[in-house]
Amino acid sequence: MNDKNTLEGTTTVGITCKDGVVFASEQRATMGSLIAHKNTQKIFKIDNHIVATIAGSVGDAQSLMKYISAEVALYQLRNNIEMSIDSAATLTSNILHSSRFTPYYVQTLLGGVDAKGPKIYSIDPSGGLIPDDFIATGSGSVFAYGVLEDRYSDDLPVDEGINVAIRAIKSAMERDAYSGNGILVSVVKTDDGYNELTKEEIQERYNKI
């Protein structure tokens, strides 16, 4: 994760499952070879059915998450319905594209569950928008993708998807110097919406991998 003046390095992953979506990240933020922060929040609850992850400039990423969250909340107040995942992703893409001359230096994953089912998008700093079944971002993504390519299946349940996500982040932490200092996991399930795993739940699964 990278602030234009200080921080760089990240690994985040997003996985679609048959009954929801799983997002995971590590927690390290670096300043060159210095570990600047060991407890960096890289997963954001946008709404009870929408989650996003960030890689890139810290200030830009935090500003973007606040912007998206506010727009999603305003949409629901005005229309009395939840914003769809497609619409939230398009909103984020439009924000980034409209700021291309003074860009947000971020790579974003956004996804969740709506009436059409689970979905995740990768959104680049210029607003490029690509849906996929699983996505990794950041400096450790090449290592995370090795796990995701091997372990993903179309009928993966959320419970198993959590294990795959943790395994992918673990692989990145072992090989990427910019990734480390713990794992965060959040899920959105079709039946009960957003949930964050506790450190104890994550550690228990990590120990079994």
Find all residues with CB under 8 Å of 140, minimum gap 6, and list them. 9, 10, 11, 26, 169, 171, 172, 173, 175, 176, 178, 179
Compute the distance between CA of residue 193 and CA of residue 135 in angstroms, rounded to an integer. Answer: 21
Can you read off the two tokens belonging to residue 132?
A: 């996929």
Can you read off the two tokens belonging to residue 189?
A: 């399930």
- Active-site residue (options: 10, 12, 16, 108): 10
Pairing assessment for the beta strands 29-31 and 34-37 based on DSSP bridges: antiparallel
DSSP E strands, 27-124? 29-31, 34-37, 43-47, 50-56, 106-114, 117-123
Asked whether the beta carbons of 9 and 137 are under 8 A apart, the reply is: no
Strand, coil or helix: 152? coil
- Pick from 204, 158, 202, 205: which is nearest to 184 by CA? 202
Compute the distance between CA of residue 26 and CA of residue 182 in angstroms, rounded to an integer. Answer: 5
Catalytic residue list contains 10: yes
Active site residues: 10
